[in-house]
Amino acid sequence: MDPIAIAAAIKKNGMVGLLTLILVLMFNYFTSRLDAVEGKLERVESKLYDCLEDRIQTSDNHMHSGAKYPDLLVGVLPKELKYEPKRKMAV
């Protein structure tokens, strides 16, 4: 905008008009920036989902190809997480 037109608008409408103009311009600027950021976010999400799907497919292939005992799943607890009685019972 022309600085003379801005000065005339301020003179005519006062500070309320100027603040309204600033708010409108800020809203337009941030709305366009938000659209750009959302577009980038959608692209990143699609890449992550593609990566996740590829990872799931490769992990399924590795899990079933070399397993000796497919029905047996074993876990080892560390010493501090084992569930044991704190003291032995007297017989």
Query: What is the pLDDT at residue 40?
Result: 93
| pLDDT score recorded for residue 73 | 66
Q: Is residue 83 part of a domain?
A: no
- What is the C-alpha separation between 23 and 10, in angstroms, rounded? 14
Q: Identify whether 27 is part of a domain.
A: yes
Residue 22, domain member (yes or no): yes
Average pLDDT by stretches of 10, the chain with 91 residues: 79 81 85 89 92 78 56 68 68 63
Predicted pLDDT of residue 41: 93
For residue 39, the enclosing domain spans: 3-66
Nearest alpha-carbon partner for 17 in 28, 6, 26:
6
This prediction's pTM: 0.40
Number of H helices, E strands in the chain: 1, 0
Would you say residue 84 lies in a domain?
A: no
| Rounded Cα distance, 54 and 4, in Å | 60
Query: Is 72 within the bounds of a domain?
Result: no
Buried b (16+ CB within 10 A) or exposed e, 52-64: eeeeeeeeeeeee
What is the count of structural domains for the chain?
A: 1
